Structure 1
Amino acid sequence: MVTGLVTAVSALAIGSNAIAVADQPPTAERAPSEATETVAKEVVSTSNAADFWTKERMRRAVPAPMPRPSGGQVSGPEGQENVLPQQSERGSLPRGVSTPQSSTDLRANAVSRAQRWTESGIPASTTGKMFAEGPQGQLYRCSGSVITADNQNTVWTAGHCLHDGNGQFYSNITFVPAYDNGTAPHGEWNASYMVTTTGWAENRDWEYDIAAFAVFPQSSDLEYRVGSQGYRFNAGQEFTDVRVFGYPAAGYQRTDFNGELLWYCRGDTVDASSWNPLNEKVRTDCDMHSGASGGPWIDDMNSNGLGYVIGASSHRQTDPDTGDLINNYFFSSNHGDAAINVYEDASTY
């Protein structure tokens, strides 16, 4: 075990939601995979990140390195076997402030070429840009989403946005909900506790590219200020009419992304195992790339902008020689047992 990491308690043993899980335990023959277990790191003080992220450093931050599977690469030979029961909870509207809600057209057509999201309120307020400092002082940026939680201060993202996949968490993590071209209408929220999967932390396995972090409360909790998206985990990989949000700095055959604005795609998701039965990643058609990492995949979004997180942007297929993107496919890790365990750990901190 790497110094500074602690093995998190299993979701089967902690938390109010875990009681429901324990009522329907997996059989002894089908225990959750070790790769779905979690590693975590506690942050002692909020002052470091608050002082660290000046406007200039935010401007210089580059997208966190994405996993780079080529068109033919697959995950490890064991694959995933999800055995925990499905788990879900609704999101919440912000409280204590007047936030205009989205008037999104629920009948809109699919959007595989990302478009600007220009409306205020949810989901813009629950989606944000996050910043992190790498082990060698690199300045990184990603996307993330506020997710409903017992602590009311939890952000959902991708594993590679918090951890290098080689034993080290990033530092000075901060989240800026509703970030827009350098502005922070709801402030900057600094991480107090970070969680990812052992599958990502120890093996850099993109099937487990899942993470979450709790933030220090300010004059109120984060959910109170901006609202939260719900979640729906272990519900499979095929969903209809999913929105994908993020702050892309690059894309497939795109030159107009700069990482400063919120964009979205919209469409169905499919099980990526059609070509590999051990591959349980989730796929959609969307041209966003680096910078959009960690952005939420939201299912069943209503007219208030609330829905259920069923994925987080992880990676794309690339040419193994040049690193160039080769298609419009965008992938999320399957949010099964691993997502449940990460959520149970982070949300109750």
Structure 2
Amino acid sequence: MLLLCWLVMAAIGRTARAAALPLPPRLGISHTIHATSAFAMVGAIFRGNVSDGDHFCTASVVDSPGQDLIITAAHCLDGGTRGLSFVPGYHDGQAPYGVWPLSTRTVDPRWTKGHSEDLDVAFAAVPPMGGRRIQTVVGGYQLSSKVSTTSLVHITGYPDSGNAPITCANRITAFGSRQLRIYCTDFTGGTSGSPWVTDGDTVMGVIGGYQEGGNTPDISYSPYFGDAVQALYRRAIRRRMGRSAGQRPR
């Protein structure tokens, strides 16, 4: 019942909207960001101490009733979440919104069994820190339930060779019946899981899927966010709500 009430409220009024993002001078050309406040919902996933600079994937906060979920590519969390942390808005060695250890991950069983490229999406829980939940600190993107294969999207991610994110905007195209494709320069290793954001506040893809997001830096892919991703999202919410209520998660 609580989940149903939250879904109704989310449909009536969004609680965490992102500001409209400005278009870059040239579509498809990435540029580095050192002032990350407009992109605070996006962060790097670190292994070990942040001071070591070992970030290897990207994630973003999604709106949820528990205000504690991030979305990324499933292949980013293949080894589980132990020892991993999410650092929203990370840049130049700084963690302006804190370092948030990860806990429960939720992936589709079909990804676990066969690594289906069409299901390369994962949600992970971010427990509260200091009595605050991550979504109340940085906001959260809405999860898209409708995808246009010609949408204009912004992608922001963290190349593992740098200390600041890059961002790019361009129009997407369909790649087969279950994948999306975009041309944006310099999305190298570390950018897997980068959110595809449309209308300023809606995530409708993540870098992943085909070739785990692409094997060239200038063309990236995402699984189509259809019914399977929506079901995975609802499962992640149920797991978090069950755990909060002291129930054993399924």
Q: Which TM-score band applies after superposition, normalised by the shorter structure?
A: 0.7 to 0.9
1:193 and 1:232, CA in 2 relative to 1: closer, same or farther beyond 3 A?
A: same
Report deviation, 1:17: 7.1
Structure 2 residue matching 1:243: 3-state secondary structure: strand
Match of 1:298 in 2: 197
Match of 1:116 in 2: 32
* Paired residues for 1:228-307 under 5 Å: 228-233=140-145, 235-249=146-160, 258-273=161-176, 279-287=177-185, 288-301=187-200, 307=201
Q: 1:313 aligns with which of 199, 202, 207?
A: 207
Identity in percent? 24
The alignment of Structure 1 onto Structure 2 pairs a total of residues equal to: 229
TM-score (norm 1): 0.59
Match of 1:224 in 2: 136
* Paired residues for 1:136-215 under 5 Å: 141-164=56-79, 169-215=80-126
Kept in 1: contact 2:20–2:199 (CA 8 A): no
**CA RMSD, aligned part only?**
3.0
Match of 2:245 in 1: none
Match of 2:223 in 1: 333
- State the AA in 2 paired with 1:296: P
Give the Cα–Cα distance (whole angstroms) in 1 for the partners of residues 183 and 128 of structure 2: 36
1:299 and 1:104, CA in 2 relative to 1: closer, same or farther beyond 3 A?
A: closer
Structure 2 unaligned residues grouped into runs of 5+: 49-53, 241-250
* Paired residues for 1:23-172 under 5 Å: 90=14, 92=16, 104-106=21-23, 108-123=24-39, 125-132=40-47, 141-164=56-79, 169-172=80-83
Structure 2 residue matching 1:176: 3-state secondary structure: strand
1:290 and 1:15, CA in 2 relative to 1: closer, same or farther beyond 3 A?
A: same
Report deviation, 1:200: 1.7
Report deviation, 1:344: 0.9
Give the Cα–Cα distance (whole angstroms) in 2 for the partners of residues 109 and 248 of structure 1: 21
Report deviation, 1:181: 2.1
Give the Cα–Cα distance (whole angstroms) in 2 for the partners of residues 88 and 282 of structure 1: 29
Report deviation, 1:246: 0.3
Residue by residue over 1:97-153, the C-alpha shift from the partner in whole angstroms, topping out at 9 and shown as x without a partner, is: xxxx868435x4553231113444232x100011247xxxxx762100011100001
Kept in 2: contact 1:102–1:119 (CA 8 A): no
TM-score (norm 2): 0.80
- State the AA in 1 paired with 2:29: R
Bigger Rg, structure 1 or 2: 1
Kept in 2: contact 1:141–1:291 (CA 8 A): yes
- Higher percent of residues as helix: 2
1:19 and 1:215, CA in 2 relative to 1: closer, same or farther beyond 3 A?
A: closer
Give the Cα–Cα distance (whole angstroms) in 2 for the partners of residues 184 and 151 of structure 1: 23
Report deviation, 1:92: 0.6
Give the Cα–Cα distance (whole angstroms) in 1 for the partners of residues 73 and 222 of structure 2: 9
Report deviation, 1:236: 3.1
Give the Cα–Cα distance (whole angstroms) in 2 for the partners of residues 342 and 332 of structure 1: 16
1:163 and 1:15, CA in 2 relative to 1: closer, same or farther beyond 3 A?
A: farther
Kept in 1: contact 2:63–2:135 (CA 8 A): yes
- State the AA in 2 paired with 1:312: V
- State the AA in 2 paired with 1:180: H
Structure 2 residue matching 1:15: 3-state secondary structure: helix
Kept in 2: contact 1:317–1:329 (CA 8 A): no
Give the Cα–Cα distance (whole angstroms) in 1 for the partners of residues 105 and 89 of structure 2: 21
Give the Cα–Cα distance (whole angstroms) in 1 for the partners of residues 109 and 170 of structure 2: 31
Kept in 1: contact 2:142–2:203 (CA 8 A): yes
Kept in 2: contact 1:91–1:147 (CA 8 A): no
- State the AA in 2 paired with 1:280: R
